[in-house]
């Protein structure tokens, strides 16, 4: 117990110092002594769960302290242990004893008595702690105040539902390739294997009640299905590629949307990503599904590094963004982002849009999308681009929205310009889609 708690505290402290959860967790999982499978799973849960509930845990920790703790790893250890006491089935005595021993492992041996007192006090003052977790929006939604304020301004009618959805656990959704396997057949095969599966409003989307290793998914090894959020599956339908078209996926990794395009039509696809290592995963996905494309490691905005001068009929620009629509999958985002990041990201998004527009053929279409719910990254970018480009017009997506609503989709909004916003909900994460056409 104490080894896992100490490693979790180290990871949480590193994230709060500005480093990514995925990198720090990988480092902790690879450290010596090696952890057994159960301990590895527990470490991952402690890191993700603590960061997901950190706003409330901080408020609860501070209620139990006479004065603030300034040592980062000790402060992190306290919230990790509080997460265990308040949100897991861990035996309280084991959690407390382990955390007391873990204090020495995080360089705070002198604070063993403090750790013991805080955690035993937490067990006695549960009602007060529950109240502290609801006392402020920052605690209730475990998000910084600036984030909540911006979301309230962007979504005055939906901000609370977005925050509530973003506080939950990630969904496990699958896209079935109907050319290989019908969705109903996939669901039936899942049920035969003891996996509860449900069809979603997106035509090929299935949600499993519990995450499973991908090898257990029916037809996965043969490319019949892929793990992909249902909201992300809308990209291929909106871009609607056709046989023989020359298509670009400008920020392709990990490759789910590109694979979807290749499975919808026989196209000549170029997939670009600035991260060469992440392109390896794209290649693996393509190989599994028996499809091929040109893969290029480059900055999509640097046309001289990759473009051959031949225009594209269709472009997917899945722009780098804040990730504010996928907090359930990446709970560290809420603590890593700063208010000043959003204008910086918007400038980068506009830079990519400007560069790629020059590679699009007349009559072609470009789908701009993000996994953000912030307007500055979405309509803010697109509206500014349209104002400066007479040869660009927005294609209204209301027809797609109506079809989804007819199938039961409720977390969808069509804005005045005709672009779509999917709000985080029970069936998918948050996404923005704007389809542009070139005159």
Rounded (10°) CA dihedral 171, 160, 45, 7: 140
User: Nearest-5° angle of CA 317, CA 318, CA 324?
Assistant: 145
Alpha-carbon distances, residue 36 vs 40, 105, 409 (angstroms): 6, 19, 42
Catalytic (active site) residue 396: no
**Catalytic site residue from 321, 371, 396, 397:** 371
328 close to 169: Cβ distance less than 8 angstroms = yes
Instruction: Say if residue 299 is exposed, middle or buried (CB neighbours under 10 Å; 0-12, 13-18, 19+).
Output: middle
Q: Decide if 238 contacts 318 (C-beta within 8 A).
A: no
Q: Rounded to an integer, what distance in angstroms lies between the CA atom of residue 175 and that of residue 221?
A: 14
Cβ neighbour number for residue 354 with a 10 Å cutoff: 13
Q: How far apart are CA 437 and CA 417, in angstroms?
A: 13
3-state DSSP assignment of residue 209: coil
Q: Any idea of the CA torsion for 27, 31, 35, 37, to the nearest 10 degrees? A: 30
The residue behind tokens 């496990």 is 172
Q: Which residue has the tokens 């694979």?
A: 259
403-411 LR contacts (CB < 8 Å, sep 24+): 404/201, 404/202, 404/234, 407/201, 407/203, 408/201, 409/201, 409/202, 411/165
Q: Burial, 186: exposed, middle or buried (Cβ in 10 Å; 0-12, 13-18, 19+)?
A: buried
**Active site positions, annotated:** 371
């Amino acid at each position: 117990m104490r080894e896992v708690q100490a490693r979790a505290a180290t990871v949480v402290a590193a994230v709060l110092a500005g480093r990514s959860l995925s990198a720090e967790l990988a480092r902790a999982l690879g450290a010596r002594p090696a952890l057994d499978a159960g301990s590895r799973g527990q470490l991952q849960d402690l890191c993700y769960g603590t960061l997901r509930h950190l706003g409330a845990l901080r408020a609860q920790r501070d209620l139990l302290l006479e004065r603030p703790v300034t040592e980062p790893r000790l402060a992190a250890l306290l919230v990790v242990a509080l997460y265990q006491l308040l949100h897991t089935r861990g035996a309280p005595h084991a959690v407390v004893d382990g955390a007391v021993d873990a204090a020495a492992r995080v360089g705070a041996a002198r604070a063993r008595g403090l750790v013991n007192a805080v955690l035993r006090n937490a067990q006695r003052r549960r009602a007060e702690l529950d109240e502290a977790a609801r006392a402020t929006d920052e605690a209730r939604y475990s998000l910084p105040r600036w984030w909540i304020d911006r979301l309230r301004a962007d979504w005055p009618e939906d901000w609370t539902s977005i925050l509530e959805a973003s506080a939950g656990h990630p969904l496990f959704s699958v896209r079935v390739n109907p050319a290989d396997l019908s969705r109903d057949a996939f669901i039936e095969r899942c049920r035969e294997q003891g996996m509860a599966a449900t069809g979603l409003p997106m035509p090929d989307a299935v949600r499993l009640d519990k995450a499973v290793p991908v090898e257990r998914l029916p037809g996965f090894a043969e490319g019949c299905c892929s793990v992909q959020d249902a909201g992300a599956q809308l990209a291929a339908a909106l871009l609607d590629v056709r046989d023989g078209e020359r298509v670009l996926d400008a920020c392709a990794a990990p490759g789910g949307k590109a694979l979807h395009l290749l499975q919808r039509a026989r196209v000549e696809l170029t997939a670009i990503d600035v991260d060469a290592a992440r392109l390896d995963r794209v290649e693996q996905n393509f190989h599994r599904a028996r499809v091929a494309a040109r893969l290029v490691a480059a900055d999509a905005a640097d046309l001289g590094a990759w473009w051959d001068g031949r225009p594209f009929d269709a472009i997917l620009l899945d722009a780098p963004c804040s990730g504010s629509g996928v907090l359930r999958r990446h709970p560290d985002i809420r603590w890593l982002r700063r208010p000043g990041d959003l204008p910086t990201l918007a400038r980068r998004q506009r830079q990519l849009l400007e560069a790629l527009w020059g590679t699009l053929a007349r009559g072609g279409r470009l789908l701009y999308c993000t996994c953000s719910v912030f307007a500055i990254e979405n309509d803010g970018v697109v509206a500014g681009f349209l104002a400066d480009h007479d040869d660009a017009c927005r294609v209204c997506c209301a027809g797609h929205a109506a079809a989804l609503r007819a199938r039961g989709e409720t977390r969808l909004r069509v804005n005045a310009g005709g672009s779509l916003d999917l709000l985080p909900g029970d069936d998918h994460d948050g996404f923005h889609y704007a389809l542009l056409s070139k005159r």
